[in-house]
Amino acid sequence: MNNHERQIEKANTFIKENSNQKERDYQPTYHFTAPVGWLNDPNGLIQHKGIYHLFYQFHPYSADWGPMHWGHATSSDLVHWEHQPVALAPSEDYDLGNPGEGYGCFSGSAVVKDGDLFLLYTGHIDSKNPKEVQCLATTQDGIHFEKHPNNPIIDKPPHSLSNDFRDPKVWSYEDTWYMVVGTSHNGDGAAALFQSDDLINWEYCGPVAKSDGTLGDMWECPDLFPIQNKHALIFSPMKDEGHGKALIQVGDMDYDTKRFTKDYDVEIDQGFDLYAPQTFLDEKGRRILIAWMDHWASKFPTKEEGWAGAMTIPREIKLNNEGNVRFQPVEELKMLRAKEEQYHELNFTKSFSPETKGQSIEIKSSFDLSTTNSETFGLKVLKSDDGEEFTEIKYDAKTSKVTVDLNKAGHVSGIASAEVEPSEELLLHIYIDRCSVELFINNGEKVITNRVYPKNTSNQIEFFGEENVAVKELNVWELKK
């Protein structure tokens, strides 16, 4: 047994012995969480031989961030996930550091070559120079992984790049492998491009895209991919000026010049709790995104229960007829729907409460703005009996702005907002799951994602408005896994 196998066995034994030791009061019903310990970035998203694979940054031994492993789960439907053995653990001189420092198998991606699954990741050790290198792992069965003997396959960043050099995303184009790595180029955030014929020997092609000085000094978790007749680049900028935690740029990729040119960029999510999104192309031809549904400044109330971190629901990315990016929940989530409550042409003044209650709920509501007299209206979810605890979603007709107020949502605070295009209709599609609220506005024009931590008795829904509110259609579902 080599050292990697020993570290994998150690982690799996710990997980088996500790995963059911504490009650999880905040455990979501249908969002992915680790069996124990700390979870952050999704890694290696891929569908291989019909099975979806979700790898993720994982510290099994503590609910705090620590030496990074790769957790692993599989699914046949993107909804029901089965935990698998740990895929990667720090074990070598390029990813195993000393106690007290940051080290491990940092973020990366997965590809299929000649029918086999390959993982590419960053080996990180704080005290080494360079501190970050790119590595490869292989598998025979899709479950147990071996680190390649040629590791690290990229042993240092090119001279023009900083020592922050991580999170390889790999894909193939016309029989050539390409890789983008998050980095900094002359002090600005950038995505470095490499190419290879065999996944082992890589040639540096320069920065495929970089900041103009306003998009951060380091781009984490880059992801470059085709989408319809365009290309898109996703990254999570560090120390950016006025932008959110993750951006998507839509534009064109020129494989001759090895450069990506953006037409525009937008925030992927207007909420506080989305970071390090990654995408993959599934066998149905869909571009699907999953992200870490947390942020580094969070207090993580779940740590008292022995765990921290969750993933967003999977979202399909599309461009509409005008070329604007849209995010929609994947269709498979409909299989969670149980009891339904439905209304057509509903009008109310002051307030309305559906009969359905719960903390795992889906709500779809279509508001007729042409006949609604109330200047502001919305709904409160995860509301307590005494009305003191709730998450408020509100629309302001004057500003065409949707806000999500967390100041009474439990253990969190702040107001997230998104401005939408003026229209005669407002569509709100909401996924609630015990400790999270994900809001999709106007068929994915904007998305607002937030973690919340209400009492487990806060389960009511209440719509409100100052004057008459006209609802074309309202559907409320209980969701059960």
CA distances for 476 relative to 53, 427, 431, 450, 455, angstroms: 31, 14, 10, 20, 21
Pairing of strands 307-308, 37-48: parallel
Token pair listed for 464? 């409100």
Kindly give, in sequence order, each residue whose CB lies less than 8 Å from that of residue 129, ignoring residues fewer than 6 positions away: 163
**41, 223, 240, 265: which is the annotated catalytic residue?**
41
Token pair listed for 414? 């702040």
CA distances for 254 relative to 67, 226, 257, 277, angstroms: 38, 11, 6, 24
Closest CA to 85 of 99, 76, 74: 74
Token pair listed for 278? 């990654």
Tell me how far apart the alpha carbons of residues 370 and 383 are, in angstroms, rounded to a whole number: 29
> 123-141 burial, b if ≥16 CB within 10 A, otherwise e?
bbbeebebbbbbbbbebee
Tell me how far apart the alpha carbons of residues 427 and 242 are, in angstroms, rounded to a whole number: 27
Tell me how far apart the alpha carbons of residues 239 and 216 are, in angstroms, rounded to a whole number: 5
Q: Which residues pair with 116 in a beta bridge?
A: 113
Cβ atoms of 339 and 476 within 8 Å: the answer is no
Q: Which residues pair with 475 in a beta bridge?
A: 342, 364
Tell me how far apart the alpha carbons of residues 419 and 417 are, in angstroms, rounded to a whole number: 7
The question of whether 41 is a catalytic residue gets the answer yes
148 three-state secondary structure: coil
Active site residues: 41
